[in-house]
Amino acid sequence: MKNATMTEPKPERIDRRRVRTRAALLRAGQKLFSERSVDGVSIDDIVAVAEVAKGSFYNHFPDKEALAKELSDTARASVEAMVAKLSPGIDDPAERVARALCAFARQAVENPVGVGAMHRLFHGAGIPDFPMNRGVRAEVHAGITGGRFQGLSVEGGVLLTVGVAQILTGRILEQGSRKDEAEGLARELVFGLLRGLGLESASAKVIAAKASADIFAGPSPAG
């Protein structure tokens, strides 16, 4: 009878295991950071939710801040990709801004964990030059130079737009709003934002209504 021999795991099996572990850690981090600040989450918390050994954490990340950075980088790329595909062929920056805010509102309904994590991870959202605000800054600049937005500097317009977006998504997350409730709130706050950016009431109302109807009735903006 031949002696049983130990066989080394195949490299692809190890790779798949590493991929699964990393994905579990990222999911756990996103969930926890949607509920608490980075300072309020420990590595023990993360590995407990991920259901992996604590030593496995350090095979992927040197500390929890590195995990948070990867999550924030991924979220920023996801937001940029989502916004880029929202308004093909739409030249009016007011319409593009309106559609982006409505998309964030819908995402808060459909992916509260992901949006909640973004709220806590993007501490620089109130800084006009913050990388996450690059797209907003470009839209506000285009609106001002094109005469569509009036009465605010680019910095003021960015802060106003980001502030409304944070309030809108934060309210939806806090209330656990249904899709129809989120649509109504998005329409109302987009109208207020466009008025603040200098649009006349009638124009702001039409754009807000169309943007909310289009975004909430269509396929998921993140799909």
pLDDT of residue 1 exceeding 50: no
Span 11-61: which CATH code? 1.10.10.60
Q: Are 99 and 86 in contact (CB under 8 A)?
A: yes
From CA 208, how far away is CA 185, in angstroms rounded? 11
Q: Tell me where in the chain the CATH 1.10.10.60 domain(s) lie.
A: 11-61
Kindly indicate whether the domain formed by 69-217 is annotated with CATH number 3.60.15.10.
no
Q: Are 143 and 93 in contact (CB under 8 A)?
A: yes
From CA 30, how far away is CA 35, in angstroms rounded? 9
Q: Which of 94, 63, 96 is closest to 197 using CA atoms?
A: 94
Cα torsion 140, 37, 68, 101: sign:
negative
- 144-to-79, 150, 193 alpha-carbon distances in Å: 23, 6, 14
Cβ neighbours of residue 104 under 8 Å, at least 6 residues apart?
115, 165, 168, 169
Region 78-104: what's the mean pLDDT?
Answer: 89
pLDDT value, residue 131: 67
Q: Tell me where in the chain the CATH 1.10.357.10 domain(s) lie.
A: 69-217
3-state secondary structure of 147: coil
Cα radius of gyration (the chain): 21
From CA 78, how far away is CA 114, in angstroms rounded? 11
Q: How do residues 165-181 score in pLDDT, each as one tens digit? A: 999 999 999 998 899 99
Amino acid at 85: K
Q: Of 43-52, 65-74, 119-128, 184-193, which range is least confident?
A: 119-128
Higher pLDDT, 47 or 17: 47
Q: Are 47 and 54 in contact (CB under 8 A)?
A: yes
pTM of the model: 0.81
Q: How do residues 183-213 score in pLDDT, each as one tens digit? A: 999 999 999 999 999 999 999 999 999 999 9
